[in-house]
Amino acid sequence: MADRYLSLTGTAPGRFLTRRLGLPQPAELRRWSTEHPVLPGPLLHLTAGTSALDLAPVLDRTGLPRDGTGTPAAVVLDATGVRDVDALAGVHAALHPVVRSLVTSGRVLVLGAPLDPADHHQAAAQQALEGFTRSLGKEIGRGRTVNLVRLTDPAAAESTLRFLLSPRSAYVSGQVIEVAGGPVTAPADWERPLTGRTALVTGAARGIGEAVAGALARDGAHVVVLDVPAAEADARRVAERLGGTALALDITAADAGERIAAALPADLDVLVHNAGITRDRRLANMPAERWSPVLEVNLGSVLRGTDALLAKGALREGGRIVATASIAGLAGNAGQTNYGASKAGIVGLVRSLAPRALAEHGVTVNAVAPGFIETRMTAAVPLVIREAGRRMNSLAQGGLPVDVAETTAWLAHPASGAVNGQVVRVCGQSLLGA
Protein backbone atom coordinates (compact mmCIF):
# COMPACT_ATOMS: atom_id res chain seq x y z
CA MET A 1 0.00 0.00 0.00
CA ALA A 2 1.38 3.40 -1.01
CA ASP A 3 2.53 5.77 1.73
CA ARG A 4 0.39 8.76 0.82
CA TYR A 5 1.73 10.86 3.69
CA LEU A 6 5.29 10.43 2.36
CA SER A 7 4.07 11.49 -1.08
CA LEU A 8 2.31 14.51 0.42
CA THR A 9 5.41 15.74 2.23
CA GLY A 10 7.28 15.60 -1.06
CA THR A 11 5.18 18.49 -2.36
CA ALA A 12 5.59 22.18 -1.51
CA PRO A 13 2.09 22.49 0.05
CA GLY A 14 2.67 19.29 2.02
CA ARG A 15 5.99 20.50 3.38
CA PHE A 16 4.43 23.82 4.38
CA LEU A 17 1.46 22.16 6.10
CA THR A 18 3.44 19.54 8.00
CA ARG A 19 5.99 22.12 9.09
CA ARG A 20 3.27 24.40 10.45
CA LEU A 21 1.64 21.51 12.31
CA GLY A 22 4.91 20.14 13.65
CA LEU A 23 4.39 16.78 11.93
CA PRO A 24 7.15 14.42 10.72
CA GLN A 25 8.71 15.33 7.40
CA PRO A 26 10.16 12.16 5.93
CA ALA A 27 12.46 12.41 2.93
CA GLU A 28 12.22 9.89 0.11
CA LEU A 29 15.15 7.53 0.62
CA ARG A 30 17.76 7.00 -2.07
CA ARG A 31 18.02 3.25 -2.61
CA TRP A 32 20.41 1.29 -4.82
CA SER A 33 19.66 0.88 -8.50
CA THR A 34 21.78 0.13 -11.54
CA GLU A 35 21.29 3.75 -12.59
CA HIS A 36 22.27 5.15 -9.16
CA PRO A 37 24.68 2.66 -7.53
CA VAL A 38 26.45 5.25 -5.34
CA LEU A 39 25.48 8.32 -3.35
CA PRO A 40 25.77 11.69 -5.10
CA GLY A 41 28.74 13.60 -3.73
CA PRO A 42 32.16 13.25 -2.12
CA LEU A 43 33.19 11.51 1.07
CA LEU A 44 34.77 13.47 3.93
CA HIS A 45 37.31 11.56 6.00
CA LEU A 46 37.75 13.10 9.46
CA THR A 47 39.63 12.03 12.59
CA ALA A 48 39.08 12.51 16.31
CA GLY A 49 42.02 11.65 18.50
CA THR A 50 45.11 9.88 17.20
CA SER A 51 44.46 6.94 14.89
CA ALA A 52 46.80 4.27 13.56
CA LEU A 53 44.33 3.03 10.94
CA ASP A 54 45.14 3.30 7.25
CA LEU A 55 41.64 3.81 5.90
CA ALA A 56 42.52 5.44 2.59
CA PRO A 57 42.80 2.26 0.45
CA VAL A 58 39.39 0.98 1.57
CA LEU A 59 37.65 4.34 1.36
CA ASP A 60 39.03 4.84 -2.15
CA ARG A 61 37.16 1.69 -3.21
CA THR A 62 33.73 2.81 -1.98
CA GLY A 63 33.00 4.64 -5.23
CA LEU A 64 32.79 8.01 -3.46
CA PRO A 65 35.45 10.60 -4.29
CA ARG A 66 37.38 11.41 -1.15
CA ASP A 67 37.56 14.98 0.10
CA GLY A 68 36.28 16.30 -3.20
CA THR A 69 34.37 19.49 -3.81
CA GLY A 70 30.62 19.84 -3.49
CA THR A 71 28.04 18.87 -0.90
CA PRO A 72 29.28 15.75 0.92
CA ALA A 73 27.35 12.52 0.51
CA ALA A 74 29.05 10.86 3.46
CA VAL A 75 31.27 11.59 6.43
CA VAL A 76 33.54 8.95 7.93
CA LEU A 77 34.83 9.90 11.38
CA ASP A 78 37.72 7.78 12.62
CA ALA A 79 37.31 7.87 16.39
CA THR A 80 39.26 4.67 17.11
CA GLY A 81 41.89 6.72 18.91
CA VAL A 82 39.45 8.29 21.38
CA ARG A 83 40.62 6.97 24.73
CA ASP A 84 39.28 9.40 27.34
CA VAL A 85 36.60 11.99 28.02
CA ASP A 86 38.74 14.90 26.84
CA ALA A 87 39.26 13.23 23.45
CA LEU A 88 35.48 13.12 22.92
CA ALA A 89 35.68 16.86 22.28
CA GLY A 90 37.30 15.93 18.99
CA VAL A 91 34.13 14.11 17.93
CA HIS A 92 32.13 17.28 18.42
CA ALA A 93 34.76 19.45 16.78
CA ALA A 94 34.91 17.23 13.69
CA LEU A 95 31.21 16.75 13.02
CA HIS A 96 29.66 19.97 14.32
CA PRO A 97 30.73 22.09 11.32
CA VAL A 98 29.71 19.59 8.61
CA VAL A 99 26.70 17.60 9.78
CA ARG A 100 24.14 20.05 8.39
CA SER A 101 25.73 20.07 4.96
CA LEU A 102 25.16 16.40 4.12
CA VAL A 103 22.98 15.61 1.12
CA THR A 104 19.52 14.11 1.61
CA SER A 105 19.95 10.37 2.32
CA GLY A 106 23.58 11.05 3.25
CA ARG A 107 25.66 8.92 5.59
CA VAL A 108 27.55 9.53 8.81
CA LEU A 109 29.76 6.60 9.75
CA VAL A 110 31.61 6.69 13.06
CA LEU A 111 34.48 4.24 13.45
CA GLY A 112 35.28 3.11 16.98
CA ALA A 113 37.59 0.62 18.64
CA PRO A 114 36.66 -2.45 20.69
CA LEU A 115 36.24 -1.67 24.38
CA ASP A 116 39.44 -2.33 26.32
CA PRO A 117 38.60 -4.34 29.48
CA ALA A 118 41.90 -3.26 31.02
CA ASP A 119 41.27 0.47 30.55
CA HIS A 120 37.96 1.71 31.89
CA HIS A 121 38.64 5.23 30.63
CA GLN A 122 39.00 3.98 27.06
CA ALA A 123 35.96 1.73 27.48
CA ALA A 124 33.87 4.64 28.77
CA ALA A 125 34.95 6.94 25.94
CA GLN A 126 34.33 4.31 23.27
CA GLN A 127 30.95 3.38 24.76
CA ALA A 128 30.07 7.07 24.68
CA LEU A 129 30.30 6.87 20.90
CA GLU A 130 27.30 4.54 20.91
CA GLY A 131 25.09 7.04 22.71
CA PHE A 132 26.38 9.78 20.46
CA THR A 133 25.66 7.78 17.30
CA ARG A 134 22.14 6.78 18.29
CA SER A 135 21.29 10.32 19.38
CA LEU A 136 22.64 11.92 16.21
CA GLY A 137 20.68 9.42 14.14
CA LYS A 138 17.46 10.56 15.80
CA GLU A 139 18.02 14.23 15.09
CA ILE A 140 19.87 14.42 11.78
CA GLY A 141 16.79 14.17 9.54
CA ARG A 142 16.33 14.31 5.73
CA GLY A 143 16.72 10.58 5.26
CA ARG A 144 20.31 10.54 6.53
CA THR A 145 21.65 7.62 8.52
CA VAL A 146 24.23 7.39 11.31
CA ASN A 147 25.97 4.16 12.31
CA LEU A 148 28.92 3.04 14.42
CA VAL A 149 31.40 0.34 13.38
CA ARG A 150 33.89 -1.02 15.88
CA LEU A 151 36.93 -2.41 14.09
CA THR A 152 40.66 -2.98 14.26
CA ASP A 153 41.45 -3.89 10.63
CA PRO A 154 39.98 -1.76 7.81
CA ALA A 155 40.53 -4.53 5.26
CA ALA A 156 38.37 -6.92 7.28
CA ALA A 157 35.65 -4.26 7.37
CA GLU A 158 35.64 -3.38 3.66
CA SER A 159 32.32 -5.05 2.82
CA THR A 160 30.75 -3.37 5.86
CA LEU A 161 32.08 0.09 5.00
CA ARG A 162 30.98 -0.29 1.38
CA PHE A 163 27.49 -1.32 2.49
CA LEU A 164 26.98 1.43 5.07
CA LEU A 165 28.31 4.12 2.72
CA SER A 166 26.05 3.05 -0.15
CA PRO A 167 22.36 3.41 -1.06
CA ARG A 168 21.93 -0.28 -0.12
CA SER A 169 21.80 0.67 3.58
CA ALA A 170 19.00 3.22 3.21
CA TYR A 171 16.92 1.87 6.13
CA VAL A 172 19.78 0.91 8.47
CA SER A 173 20.50 3.60 11.05
CA GLY A 174 21.50 3.89 14.69
CA GLN A 175 23.28 0.52 14.58
CA VAL A 176 26.47 -0.61 16.26
CA ILE A 177 28.34 -3.29 14.32
CA GLU A 178 31.37 -5.17 15.57
CA VAL A 179 33.87 -6.29 12.94
CA ALA A 180 36.54 -8.69 14.15
CA GLY A 181 40.01 -8.81 12.69
CA GLY A 182 41.31 -11.65 10.57
CA PRO A 183 41.37 -12.82 6.96
CA VAL A 184 38.42 -12.29 4.62
CA THR A 185 37.77 -13.47 1.08
CA ALA A 186 37.58 -10.58 -1.34
CA PRO A 187 35.48 -11.51 -4.38
CA ALA A 188 36.87 -11.41 -7.90
CA ASP A 189 33.95 -9.16 -8.84
CA TRP A 190 32.45 -6.89 -6.18
CA GLU A 191 29.37 -6.42 -8.36
CA ARG A 192 28.70 -10.20 -8.49
CA PRO A 193 30.30 -11.46 -5.26
CA LEU A 194 28.20 -14.64 -5.00
CA THR A 195 28.99 -15.98 -8.46
CA GLY A 196 29.35 -19.76 -8.32
CA ARG A 197 27.70 -19.97 -4.89
CA THR A 198 24.46 -21.57 -3.79
CA ALA A 199 21.98 -19.90 -1.45
CA LEU A 200 18.80 -21.22 0.13
CA VAL A 201 16.08 -18.85 1.33
CA THR A 202 13.10 -20.13 3.31
CA GLY A 203 9.72 -18.47 2.92
CA ALA A 204 10.93 -17.09 -0.41
CA ALA A 205 7.76 -17.31 -2.51
CA ARG A 206 6.66 -13.78 -1.64
CA GLY A 207 7.32 -10.66 0.40
CA ILE A 208 10.66 -10.20 2.14
CA GLY A 209 11.82 -13.70 1.24
CA GLU A 210 11.26 -13.07 -2.45
CA ALA A 211 13.22 -9.81 -2.20
CA VAL A 212 16.09 -11.59 -0.41
CA ALA A 213 16.18 -14.28 -3.08
CA GLY A 214 16.26 -11.56 -5.73
CA ALA A 215 19.16 -9.71 -4.11
CA LEU A 216 21.23 -12.88 -3.76
CA ALA A 217 20.52 -13.87 -7.37
CA ARG A 218 21.48 -10.36 -8.52
CA ASP A 219 24.78 -10.86 -6.70
CA GLY A 220 25.40 -14.06 -8.65
CA ALA A 221 24.07 -16.86 -6.44
CA HIS A 222 22.05 -19.84 -7.60
CA VAL A 223 19.08 -19.50 -5.26
CA VAL A 224 16.96 -22.35 -3.90
CA VAL A 225 13.51 -20.85 -3.30
CA LEU A 226 11.95 -22.80 -0.43
CA ASP A 227 8.37 -22.43 0.71
CA VAL A 228 5.47 -24.55 1.95
CA PRO A 229 3.73 -26.91 -0.51
CA ALA A 230 0.68 -24.62 -0.60
CA ALA A 231 2.90 -21.88 -2.08
CA GLU A 232 4.68 -24.12 -4.56
CA ALA A 233 3.30 -22.32 -7.63
CA ASP A 234 4.59 -18.98 -6.34
CA ALA A 235 7.95 -20.53 -5.41
CA ARG A 236 8.32 -21.92 -8.93
CA ARG A 237 7.44 -18.55 -10.41
CA VAL A 238 10.12 -16.81 -8.33
CA ALA A 239 12.71 -19.51 -9.04
CA GLU A 240 12.07 -19.36 -12.77
CA ARG A 241 12.42 -15.58 -12.79
CA LEU A 242 15.72 -15.77 -10.91
CA GLY A 243 17.14 -18.79 -12.69
CA GLY A 244 17.05 -20.73 -9.44
CA THR A 245 15.45 -23.89 -8.06
CA ALA A 246 12.11 -24.23 -6.27
CA LEU A 247 11.72 -26.50 -3.26
CA ALA A 248 8.31 -27.15 -1.69
CA LEU A 249 8.75 -28.36 1.87
CA ASP A 250 7.31 -27.95 5.37
CA ILE A 251 10.23 -26.69 7.44
CA THR A 252 8.55 -27.78 10.68
CA ALA A 253 8.80 -31.46 9.71
CA ALA A 254 11.15 -33.42 11.96
CA ASP A 255 13.28 -34.48 8.98
CA ALA A 256 13.18 -31.13 7.14
CA GLY A 257 16.92 -30.55 7.49
CA GLU A 258 17.77 -33.95 6.02
CA ARG A 259 15.30 -33.46 3.16
CA ILE A 260 16.72 -30.03 2.38
CA ALA A 261 20.27 -31.40 2.30
CA ALA A 262 19.19 -34.21 -0.04
CA ALA A 263 17.40 -31.81 -2.42
CA LEU A 264 20.20 -29.23 -2.75
CA PRO A 265 21.78 -28.93 -6.21
CA ALA A 266 25.15 -28.28 -4.52
CA ASP A 267 26.59 -27.69 -1.07
CA LEU A 268 25.28 -24.48 0.49
CA ASP A 269 27.22 -21.27 0.78
CA VAL A 270 24.36 -19.16 2.15
CA LEU A 271 21.44 -20.24 4.35
CA VAL A 272 18.78 -17.61 5.00
CA HIS A 273 16.11 -18.44 7.58
CA ASN A 274 13.35 -16.06 6.53
CA ALA A 275 10.13 -18.07 6.90
CA GLY A 276 7.88 -16.84 9.68
CA ILE A 277 4.26 -16.51 10.76
CA THR A 278 2.21 -14.48 13.21
CA ARG A 279 -0.80 -15.48 15.30
CA ASP A 280 -1.35 -12.28 17.27
CA ARG A 281 -3.45 -12.06 20.41
CA ARG A 282 -2.87 -10.83 23.95
CA LEU A 283 -1.58 -13.56 26.24
CA ALA A 284 -4.76 -13.69 28.33
CA ASN A 285 -6.70 -14.50 25.15
CA MET A 286 -4.10 -16.69 23.44
CA PRO A 287 -4.83 -20.43 23.36
CA ALA A 288 -2.01 -22.93 22.94
CA GLU A 289 -2.94 -23.53 19.31
CA ARG A 290 -1.98 -19.93 18.53
CA TRP A 291 1.22 -20.07 20.58
CA SER A 292 2.82 -23.31 19.40
CA PRO A 293 2.81 -22.84 15.60
CA VAL A 294 4.59 -19.50 15.89
CA LEU A 295 7.35 -20.95 18.05
CA GLU A 296 7.63 -23.98 15.79
CA VAL A 297 7.93 -22.10 12.50
CA ASN A 298 9.90 -19.08 13.67
CA LEU A 299 12.33 -20.73 16.07
CA GLY A 300 12.07 -24.50 16.39
CA SER A 301 12.46 -25.16 12.67
CA VAL A 302 15.42 -22.76 12.50
CA LEU A 303 17.22 -24.56 15.32
CA ARG A 304 16.57 -28.05 13.94
CA GLY A 305 17.31 -27.13 10.35
CA THR A 306 20.56 -25.37 11.20
CA ASP A 307 21.73 -28.24 13.39
CA ALA A 308 20.95 -30.82 10.70
CA LEU A 309 22.66 -28.93 7.88
CA LEU A 310 25.77 -28.24 9.96
CA ALA A 311 25.93 -31.86 11.14
CA LYS A 312 25.74 -33.11 7.55
CA GLY A 313 28.43 -30.68 6.41
CA ALA A 314 25.99 -29.20 3.90
CA LEU A 315 27.37 -25.71 4.52
CA ARG A 316 30.75 -25.15 2.95
CA GLU A 317 33.60 -23.53 4.85
CA GLY A 318 33.23 -19.79 4.40
CA GLY A 319 29.45 -20.20 4.46
CA ARG A 320 26.94 -17.76 5.87
CA ILE A 321 23.86 -18.29 8.00
CA VAL A 322 21.51 -15.31 8.23
CA ALA A 323 18.39 -15.63 10.38
CA THR A 324 15.46 -13.24 10.63
CA ALA A 325 14.77 -11.77 14.05
CA SER A 326 12.54 -8.72 14.64
CA ILE A 327 12.46 -5.59 16.73
CA ALA A 328 9.44 -7.25 18.37
CA GLY A 329 11.92 -9.69 19.88
CA LEU A 330 14.18 -6.87 21.06
CA ALA A 331 11.71 -4.28 22.33
CA GLY A 332 8.52 -6.35 22.70
CA ASN A 333 5.14 -5.71 21.14
CA ALA A 334 1.67 -5.92 22.69
CA GLY A 335 -0.30 -8.87 21.35
CA GLN A 336 2.83 -10.66 20.19
CA THR A 337 4.19 -12.58 23.17
CA ASN A 338 4.51 -15.66 20.98
CA TYR A 339 6.13 -13.82 18.06
CA GLY A 340 8.38 -11.74 20.35
CA ALA A 341 9.53 -14.88 22.14
CA SER A 342 10.34 -16.63 18.87
CA LYS A 343 12.30 -13.69 17.49
CA ALA A 344 14.20 -13.11 20.74
CA GLY A 345 15.07 -16.79 20.54
CA ILE A 346 16.73 -16.12 17.19
CA VAL A 347 18.96 -13.55 18.89
CA GLY A 348 19.96 -16.14 21.49
CA LEU A 349 20.71 -18.66 18.75
CA VAL A 350 22.98 -16.20 16.95
CA ARG A 351 24.91 -15.14 20.03
CA SER A 352 25.50 -18.72 21.16
CA LEU A 353 26.12 -20.44 17.83
CA ALA A 354 28.19 -17.77 16.05
CA PRO A 355 31.55 -18.37 17.76
CA ARG A 356 31.21 -22.19 17.66
CA ALA A 357 30.01 -22.33 14.05
CA LEU A 358 32.97 -20.20 12.97
CA ALA A 359 35.48 -22.24 14.96
CA GLU A 360 34.11 -25.67 14.02
CA HIS A 361 32.72 -25.15 10.51
CA GLY A 362 34.17 -21.87 9.24
CA VAL A 363 30.62 -20.49 8.98
CA THR A 364 29.37 -17.11 10.24
CA VAL A 365 25.97 -16.66 11.91
CA ASN A 366 24.17 -13.31 11.98
CA ALA A 367 20.61 -11.98 12.04
CA VAL A 368 18.60 -9.16 10.57
CA ALA A 369 15.87 -7.65 12.73
CA PRO A 370 13.28 -5.85 10.59
CA GLY A 371 11.06 -3.11 11.94
CA PHE A 372 7.99 -1.80 10.10
CA ILE A 373 8.38 -3.10 6.55
CA GLU A 374 5.80 -2.38 3.85
CA THR A 375 4.37 -5.81 3.00
CA ARG A 376 0.93 -7.30 2.40
CA MET A 377 0.84 -8.15 6.11
CA THR A 378 1.43 -4.57 7.26
CA ALA A 379 -0.98 -3.28 4.59
CA ALA A 380 -3.74 -5.16 6.43
CA VAL A 381 -2.98 -3.38 9.73
CA PRO A 382 -5.61 -0.77 10.74
CA LEU A 383 -4.81 2.70 9.41
CA VAL A 384 -3.97 4.44 12.69
CA ILE A 385 -1.68 1.63 13.86
CA ARG A 386 -0.09 1.42 10.43
CA GLU A 387 0.65 5.15 10.38
CA ALA A 388 2.15 4.99 13.87
CA GLY A 389 4.36 2.10 12.79
CA ARG A 390 5.56 4.05 9.79
CA ARG A 391 6.37 7.26 11.66
CA MET A 392 7.88 5.86 14.88
CA ASN A 393 11.44 5.75 13.61
CA SER A 394 14.16 8.24 12.85
CA LEU A 395 13.41 8.17 9.10
CA ALA A 396 9.64 8.62 9.72
CA GLN A 397 8.60 5.99 7.17
CA GLY A 398 8.27 2.29 6.66
CA GLY A 399 11.01 0.23 5.11
CA LEU A 400 10.73 -1.90 2.00
CA PRO A 401 11.43 -5.63 1.58
CA VAL A 402 14.49 -4.69 -0.46
CA ASP A 403 15.99 -3.00 2.64
CA VAL A 404 16.01 -6.33 4.48
CA ALA A 405 17.27 -8.03 1.33
CA GLU A 406 20.23 -5.67 0.91
CA THR A 407 21.25 -6.12 4.55
CA THR A 408 21.03 -9.90 4.17
CA ALA A 409 23.13 -9.74 0.99
CA TRP A 410 25.83 -7.80 2.87
CA LEU A 411 25.93 -10.41 5.64
CA ALA A 412 26.05 -13.16 2.98
CA HIS A 413 28.97 -11.49 1.18
CA PRO A 414 32.19 -13.53 0.98
CA ALA A 415 34.12 -10.50 2.29
CA SER A 416 31.89 -10.30 5.40
CA GLY A 417 33.67 -13.12 7.18
CA ALA A 418 34.74 -10.80 10.02
CA VAL A 419 31.09 -9.95 10.76
CA ASN A 420 29.84 -12.66 13.11
CA GLY A 421 27.31 -12.86 15.92
CA GLN A 422 25.67 -9.57 14.94
CA VAL A 423 21.97 -8.69 15.10
CA VAL A 424 21.41 -5.77 12.74
CA ARG A 425 18.14 -3.87 12.94
CA VAL A 426 16.60 -2.84 9.63
CA CYS A 427 14.10 -0.47 11.18
CA GLY A 428 15.05 3.09 10.24
CA GLN A 429 16.21 3.36 13.86
CA SER A 430 12.96 2.60 15.60
CA LEU A 431 12.24 5.14 18.33
CA LEU A 432 11.26 2.30 20.68
CA GLY A 433 13.89 -0.17 21.84
CA ALA A 434 16.53 1.17 19.44
Residues with catalytic roles: 339
Distance between CA atoms of 172 and 395, rounded to whole angstroms? 10
Distance between CA atoms of 138 and 350, rounded to whole angstroms? 27
Residues forming a β-bridge with 365: 321
Which one-letter amino acid corresponds to residue 78?
A: D
Q: Which residues contact 348 (CB under 8 A, 6 or more apart)?
A: none
Q: Of 311, 296, 325, which is closest to residue 356 (Cα–Cα)?
A: 311
CA distances in angstroms from 277 to 12, 120, 271, 330, 359, listed in the order given: 41, 44, 19, 17, 32
**Helix, strand or coil for residue 17?**
helix
What angle do the packed helices 232-242 and 207-218 form, to 10 degrees?
A: 20
Residue 321: which H helix or E strand, with range?
A: strand 315-324
Residue 74: which H helix or E strand, with range?
A: strand 74-81
**Helix, strand or coil for residue 25?**
coil
Are the C-beta atoms of residues 321 and 271 closer than 8 Å to each other? yes
